[in-house]
Amino acid sequence: MSALRRWLDGESGYPLRAGWRETPPKKPKTRPARRDDRRQLDGFLRAYALCAIVLCMLLALCLILGVAGLPPFADAGNPTNNEVAERYVGSAEEETGAENAVAGMILNYRGFDTFGESCVLFVALCCVELLLRATTPALRKEAEACEKEAARDAILATVARFIVPCVLVFGLCILFHGHLSPGGGFSGGAVLGAALILFAAAFGRDRVRRFFTRRVFDAVRISGLMLYAVMFGLYVFLGANGVESGLSRWIVQIIDVAVGLVVMSTMYGFFAFYTKGEL
């Protein structure tokens, strides 16, 4: 025992590895700063609520000032009593290239407003995805079970086999003839979105994923909004009313299709995330 103790103490002739008896220092146990985190969270929530109230008050003030600045009803300076309506009806085809005056007003004269509506649909779909996206396996299994149960309806599947192709053709006709006849991007996109929803309800979401995957869904909604922005910017920078009639007609057609893509993806996205929490 004495020789072993001398060897352990380093007094023997056998070399010892330096630091072999050293143990790594223990990390001090620190409790998570729950109080500090809670205090920071409470401060952020108070600041967020205050900023939201201030922004809402500023928005309400801007709206009130805008309404107060409008000309009175039946006033001579009111746009409904001057040449604006006559200009829209009489010069829409010549200036916009659209044989349908409504499409000319929506996609050209009021193009910025329509682009804002498309942006609202895009943002609304993003918010629905953030709020209703299924994040746990239990929720996904429950949604898949409900979907399989709903997809067993033989009557719905039989009817959908005949109705879905007709609805798709009808939606494409509305979409591509919106600048010539009643219809356009919003109505055509709504019909196409309804066809996708009917197909998913009748045959299941897995059948839709074969051709409308998540990557395709993101590409359609993003490319539709970007295509609208590019084509309307091209229309404005080329001189708006100075654009040749043939080119203007093509620009209106492309903008119509872009709006339809945004509306279609928004409708199907709402259905997918509300029913299952994912595409």
pLDDT, one tens digit per residue, over 66-100 is 888 777 776 666 666 667 777 777 777 777 766 77
Q: Looking at the domain assignment, is residue 58 inside a domain?
A: no
Q: Looking at the domain assignment, is residue 7 inside a domain?
A: no
Q: What percentage of the chain has pLDDT greater than the value 70?
A: 70
Q: What is the mean pLDDT of residues 39-43?
A: 81
Q: Looking at the domain assignment, is residue 80 inside a domain?
A: no
Is the Cβ–Cβ distance between 71 and 77 less than 8 Å?
Answer: yes
Is the predicted pLDDT of residue 19 greater than 50, yes or no?
no
Looking at the 3D structure of the chain, how many domains does it have? 1
Is the predicted pLDDT of residue 215 greater than 80, yes or no?
yes
Q: Looking at the domain assignment, is residue 71 inside a domain?
A: no
Q: Looking at the domain assignment, is residue 13 inside a domain?
A: no
Q: Looking at the domain assignment, is residue 259 inside a domain?
A: yes
CA-based torsion, 26, 30, 32, 33: positive or negative: negative
Q: Looking at the domain assignment, is residue 21 inside a domain?
A: no
Mean pLDDT of the chain: 76
Please state, in angstroms and rounded to a whole number, the distance separating the CA atoms of residues 138 and 219: 29
Cut 0.85: pTM above it: no
Is the predicted pLDDT of residue 65 greater than 60, yes or no?
yes
Buried b / exposed e over 132-150, threshold 16 CB at 10 Å, is: eebeeeeeeeebeeebeee
pLDDT digits (tens, 9 = 90+) for 133-175: 766 666 667 666 666 655 567 788 888 889 999 999 998 888 8
Range of the domain at 175: 93-275
Q: Looking at the domain assignment, is residue 219 inside a domain?
A: yes
- pLDDT score recorded for residue 149: 59
Q: Nearest-CA neighbor of 221 among 244, 182, 192, 250?
A: 192
